[in-house]
Structure 1
Amino acid sequence: MSTQPCVFIVDDDYAVRDGLGLVIETAGLPYQAFESAEQFLQSYCPSIPGCLLLDVNMPGLNGLELQAELIRHNIHLPIIFLTGNGNIPMTVRAIKAGAVDFLTKPVPSKLLIERIQAVLQHEAQIHEQNTAERALSNRLNSLTSREMEILPLVVEGHSNKDIARLINISFRTVEIHRARILKKTGVANLLELARLCEACKLPSEPTR
């Protein structure tokens, strides 16, 4: 079961947190608000998808330092920076470090929701793609080492006789492995098998 994405607000100003929360809630999106970067780090669960609305200037750990801390912990949470007094070097630093946007307060509600929804849509597409890639990879992971050795030779169009000679096994053994490869990967023919290998970026020829 997929987890609904959440918008995380980190800002030391209560009025800003409250206003942003109201805008996000009105748009039908769940949110969580934090008064400091430290509080966010203590509470955040990396398994929850979403995006982070992050103030730059805060007591303690500031926004750019929180961004660096998330990177250090290999947490890939898209960040939209919000600031009342940003500058070009600050913006460049944030974007170079991976921030998806850098907005100046006050941000029009319509613009903010458009940016948030664009980020969440992009994250959902990435998640869907990663899920599909894992499913494809799992189909190949079910193959034995011998079947993985034979697979690229089959895809390259070698006959069973050629494969038997190349890896020094019997013709009948190749037939059995070939049938098992098709069954385990769930493909109906050689073309589908080739597409599966291409999608999984499997080398076309075995290393010898």
Structure 2
Amino acid sequence: MRIEDNSTVFIVDDDYAIRESLSDLMDSAGLKTQIFASAEEFLDGWDPKMSGCLLLDVRLPGMSGMEMQSALFQSGIAIPIIIMTAHGDMPMVRRAMKAGAVEFLIKPFNDEELLQAVEQAFELDRAHRRAGDQVRSIQDRTETLNERERQVMALVTAGLTNKEVADKLHLSVVTIKLYRGQMMKKMKAETLADLVKMYEKINPSGEPKAS
């Protein structure tokens, strides 16, 4: 498995021998690891900049693995999670998958099965981070717009023509075209379709923000 970034497998298991065994397996596959004996220990050291996936045991001292997954989910922390347990049942599997688990593995599991799940989780994490980078880039460009350009962007992405935008903002069509051209340049949008896609990423509700 080739990993070209800082993706890390974060292993949370209260059994020292299992932690070390899993860490050795990941190391043999060329993967970085960090190990934790409890959910609380992992959460205390959590940094949103951390990339990779979480290999999480269900039975832990203090906060259980399922409780930790729920807490991460509710907090909006999108790190992909692979659940592992020796005591799983279908209700637990359904609950874990509904909360976004990438995989649910029953101990003892096959090494290759685990490595495949980790690879899938890494790909998912990269996709999430790319999407986040795109949104931040669009937001940064939006910050360069003046108030009128923001209004024009909101209205044209809502489907209004230049004349309709002009009437709504009580400006001339020529002035709207000027603002529109400046806005498109600042947003680095070559077409209206490009602009609409950008606006949807930062305004998923689809409601125009112009008055």
TM-score grouping bracket, smaller chain normalisation: 0.7 to 0.9
Distance across 1 between alignment mates of 2:59 and 2:176 = 66
1:1-208 → structure 2 map (5 Å cutoff):
4-151=6-153, 158-159=161-162, 164-170=166-172, 173-188=175-190, 192-201=191-200
CA contact (8 A) 1:152 1:205 kept: yes
TM-score normalized by the length of structure 1: 0.81
Pick closer, same or farther for the CA change 1:74–1:114 going to 2, 3 Å. same
- Say if 1:196 and 1:174 are closer, same or farther in 2 by CA, change over 3 A: closer
Q: In 2, Cα distance between the equivalents of 1:45 and 1:127?
A: 14
Distance 1:193 1:105, change over 3 A: same
Where 2:73 maps in the other structure, the secondary structure is: helix
Q: 1:198 to 1:37 in 2, by over 3 A?
A: closer
**Cα offset, 1:114, TM superposition:** 0.6
Superposed CA deviations along residues 168-197 of structure 1, whole A, max 9, x for unmatched, are: 234554454234223322345xxx134222
Q: What is the root-mean-square deviation in Å for CA atoms of aligned residues?
A: 2.9
1:97-125: CA deviations, max 9, x gaps?
22221101112111111110011111101
Taking the aligned partners of 2:196 and 2:171, their CA distance within structure 1 comes to: 23
Aligned-partner Cα distance in 1 for 2:181–2:61? 65
User: 2:154, 2:210 within 8 Å by CA — same for their partners in 1?
Assistant: no
* Count of residue correspondences: 203
Distance 1:15-1:175 versus aligned 2 partners, 3 A rule: closer
Question: 4+ residue stretches of structure 1 with deviation over 4 A?
Answer: 152-157, 162-166, 202-208
Q: TM-score, normalised by structure 2?
A: 0.80
CA distance in 2, matches of 1:115, 1:55: 15
Separation in 2 of the partners of 1:116 and 1:167?
A: 53
Matching residue's letter, 2:195: L
Change (3 A) 1:83 1:197: same
1:199 to partner: Cα distance: 3.3
- Identity of matched residues, %: 35
CA distance in 1, matches of 2:100, 2:160: 44
Unaligned runs of 5+ in 2: none
Q: Deviations over 1:49-83 (max 9, x none)?
A: 21111111233322112223323443222211111
Query: What is the letter of the counterpart of residue 132 of structure 1?
Result: Q
- Name the aligned partner's letter for residue 197 of structure 1: V
